[in-house]
Amino acid sequence: MNKEGQRASTGRDPVDDRELVESARKGDRDAFRTLFERYHRRAYALAFGVLRHPDDALDVVQDAFIKAHKYLDKFEGNSSFYTWLYRIVMNLAIDHLRKHRRAKPVELDEQHLEEGAAAGDDALLPKFLGGNPGRALLDKEIRARIDQALGELSENHRAVLVMRELEGMSYEEMAQAMGCSKGTIMSRLFHARKNMQKRLVDLMEGRRVTDDETEDAAASGSRG
């Protein structure tokens, strides 16, 4: 990920976000541009994760920054600038989904999900990657499968998964953003994860076999 966002969160920036916000409020466009430079890729990743369409994601990021600038006076500084910004991005992305909702299969699982998850429905998989997601992400095929699996989730399931995994939003925050109960958020998240695991696990197992075979081949080669 672009390092601007990370840089900002480490507190090593010569100019703090709050100072930039203060300057931007006074009309300093360069200060606002610096905020844009710090967070545009994170904001884009969030919008893209939810919308899955690069142009739609750019539209949402554009609107979000314009809106953020317009309402800078209302930013009280209780949270970080990015926390405030991502809520704007998320709200716009969810609005966009509502306005452009395409026909999607009914999420039958949501109706019994809470009971299923709460009643100990052993749906989550105990083994997955063998503890090396960083290595897996180097594999183009695995990334393509992740992309495909995300695309196959329903919009609601994908939205909660992205909010949770990318931004670490709490169930309560997600419930507010999506206008539903915490229980529904839990249900969506549970099924999103279960469905992602189901779609990816065969690939991961295949990859492990391949790795093992490679290691075996290397070992036998060194023996011979």
Partner 1 sequence: MKDADLMSLADGELDEREARDLEDKLARDPIARGKLDAVGELGELVRGHLELSADAVPQKKFDALWREIDKGIERASAESESTPATKNEAAPAPAGFLRRVGRWFDAHRGHIISGVVGAGAVATLALILRGPSGDNLAGTKGSHPIDTTPVSAPAEIESLDTPGGTGTVFNLEDDDGDTTVIWVTPEDTVEGI
Q: Which residues make up the interface to partner 1 (CB under 8 A)? A: 1-2, 29, 32-33, 36, 40-42, 44-46, 48-49, 54-55, 58-59, 61-63, 65-66, 69-70, 117-129, 131, 133-134, 136-137, 143, 146-147, 150, 161-162, 164-166, 170-171, 186, 189-190, 193, 196-197, 200
CA distance 151 to 185: 19
Cβ closest to partner 1, residue 104 vs residue 127? 127
For residue 222, the minimal CB distance to partner 1 (Å) is: 30
**Region of residue 101 (left: phi > 0; alpha: psi -120 to 50; beta: else):** beta
Say which residue the tokens 């169930």 belong to: 171
DSSP code per residue over 70-122? HTGGG--SSS-HHHHHHHHHHHHHHHHHHHTPPP----THHHHHHHHHHTT--
For residue 221, the minimal CB distance to partner 1 (Å) is: 30
Cβ closest to partner 1, residue 75 vs residue 128? 128
Q: Output the six-digit token pair for 72.
A: 């800078």
Q: Quick one: angle between helices 155-167 and 171-178, nearest 10?
A: 140
For residue 217, the minimal CB distance to partner 1 (Å) is: 26
Contacts of 80 (CB under 8 A, 6+ apart): 9, 17
Cβ closest to partner 1, residue 127 vs residue 216? 127
| Residue 156 burial (C-beta neighbours within 10 Å; 0-12, 13-18, 19+) | buried
Cβ closest to partner 1, residue 90 vs residue 200? 200
For residue 3, the minimal CB distance to partner 1 (Å) is: 10
CA distance 184 to 203: 29
For residue 70, the minimal CB distance to partner 1 (Å) is: 6
Cβ closest to partner 1, residue 16 vs residue 172? 172
For residue 214, the minimal CB distance to partner 1 (Å) is: 21
Cβ closest to partner 1, residue 58 vs residue 180? 58
Distance from chain centroid for Cα 218: 38
For residue 174, the minimal CB distance to partner 1 (Å) is: 10
Whether the Cβ atoms of residue 46 and residue 86 lie closer than 8 Å to each other: yes
Cβ closest to partner 1, residue 58 vs residue 80? 58
